[in-house]
Structure 1
């Protein structure tokens, strides 16, 4: 099933075991699409752990509302999100800084996680964080950069539930947006689709379920860090069939304290710096306070020409 779905898709597929041979293909995917599907990463994140985590996600999102509300925001939008007027079919729980054992344990405690659920979440958070570091290291190697560390960057995950009914078919599950992160590793629903990414030409490409693979999206911070080379892909979720759709999105956000800016290797007389340096916290507040959803925040951070 996975191989058949991959063969029908035009979204680039990156073999994580085939580097540096895949390096050029990876960079081109970031420039042309702002997203790519990865395969052969199970040495870091086993498929058995992915399936266990999906079962945990389902049970956590079925908890009583009063328990889910204990999942408070650390930064805007990082905690529990109930169905809203804008996204009435969508509900989510969030863990801010999944690289922090203390934050992971606090998240589990607030939700009264069982020992098995806690163990699964701890293992998943550790594995996804390691996978993210592997991806960004491959990205910087592909650009000829080898002295940037992402180890102190904040990671966040969001577990998502879409409640689709026959009456909501053709309605949006989540509105069109870009991610505020550097990159997002998405473990999508195995059976119910709906995710669509916007190509540079403005057309939408459906991202169909493909079990055993992960989708990587690039966000606003990747555009800034790459000095405009990487596309911050716009995407949305549409209701295409009735059912409950579950997904797990893990975000590599940005540095905790250092400023976000393009490395010197990507800036020269032919490629002048496009964006002023800023902190991730400032950028996040700018997006939220102005309700910038599709990358508009970057326009106000461009270096004056």
Structure 2
């Protein structure tokens, strides 16, 4: 049974240090005054629902040669979950290619493009806040890091009430911005201090930010990736949209030099994000256990 404790609520205008504290203590927070229009969020939810209601043969065109970067059909993650993917969404032509794959209408394409780039801008602003809150200078750390947008549908029924829609996991990337379903609850996170499960009750017009495994490495252990899952509370369709800020393509993930000193030595050796992402699968490490393979020998 999930606790009635509440995750932190952060205003985007709050001091950067408050965001850093939430990343250190909880690894997640609910974001208000984030700048993504509520009408656009509502439109995107409707678009996601309509696309995920398309016939299977159309959704399967949303393919990618690498596991986890294309369409996830039912029975891969769970029998009542499927998900469309827009991988590396800021790269040239990515939105057009995705829309062509699934025959999205002109209006749907416009909404998708506005939405994903609104989230992308928010991710960059959030990244800048984290940099300032940690006392770091230099280029934004997510520059050149691919981002992935996922549109998820949980097809709940009376038979699935009480079951798990998404197993307990951490996100492998840097951080995640989630538009959860404002009507149908189900997201639960683990309180890092107590170990108890906390139900993340939806609040209309807000977003949830989850810290991922790469943020643990990047912050030299100051941030922790939050364990979370999705449960079925009631027999209703649940739709969510998620932006994942992943890991760099052309450089290794490593702690920021300013966060390494004689008092806090480097915790992890530099490594390739894609190597780590695949290790999570091959070692069956959904909650980030594979990070131990990269611990530095101080």
**2:173 matched residue in structure 1:** 181
**1:231 matched residue in structure 2:** 224
Cα distance in 1 between the residues matched to 2:5 and 2:33: 18
4+ long deviations beyond 3 Å: none
Choose from 238, 254, 264 the match for 1:261: 254
**Corresponding position: 1:167 with 2:170:** no
**Corresponding position: 1:57 with 2:48:** yes
Query: Conserved in 1, the CA contact under 8 Å of 2:31 and 2:207?
Result: yes
How big is each residue's C-alpha offset from its partner over 1:99-125, in whole Å with a ceiling of 9 and x where there is no partner?
124111100100000000011111111
Paired positions, count: 293
**2:26 matched residue in structure 1:** 33
Cα distance in 2 between the residues matched to 1:110 and 1:220: 31
Partner SS state of residue 153, structure 1: coil
Query: Conserved in 1, the CA contact under 8 Å of 2:154 and 2:238?
Result: yes
Cα drift, residue 86 of structure 1: 5.0
Question: What is the Cα-based RMSD across aligned positions, in Å?
Answer: 1.3
**2:63 matched residue in structure 1:** 72
**2:37 matched residue in structure 1:** 46
Query: Conserved in 2, the CA contact under 8 Å of 1:187 and 1:213?
Result: yes
**1:87 matched residue in structure 2:** 78
Q: Which runs of 5+ in 2 are unaligned?
A: none
Q: If the length of structure 2 is used for normalisation, what is the TM-score? A: 0.95
Choose from 125, 133, 155 the match for 1:134: 125
**Corresponding position: 1:217 with 2:210:** yes
Partner SS state of residue 146, structure 1: coil
Cα distance in 2 between the residues matched to 1:283 and 1:74: 18
Partner SS state of residue 246, structure 2: strand
Query: Conserved in 1, the CA contact under 8 Å of 2:153 and 2:238?
Result: yes
Partner SS state of residue 275, structure 1: coil
Query: Conserved in 1, the CA contact under 8 Å of 2:6 and 2:200?
Result: no
Cα distance in 2 between the residues matched to 1:49 and 1:100: 22
How big is each residue's C-alpha offset from its partner over 1:25-54, in whole Å with a ceiling of 9 and x where there is no partner?
211110110001111112xx2111111111
Cα distance in 2 between the residues matched to 1:70 and 1:283: 27
Partner SS state of residue 255, structure 1: coil
**Corresponding position: 1:289 with 2:287:** no
Cα drift, residue 189 of structure 1: 0.4
Choose from 149, 152, 175 the match for 2:144: 152
Cα drift, residue 74 of structure 1: 4.9
**Corresponding position: 1:24 with 2:17:** yes
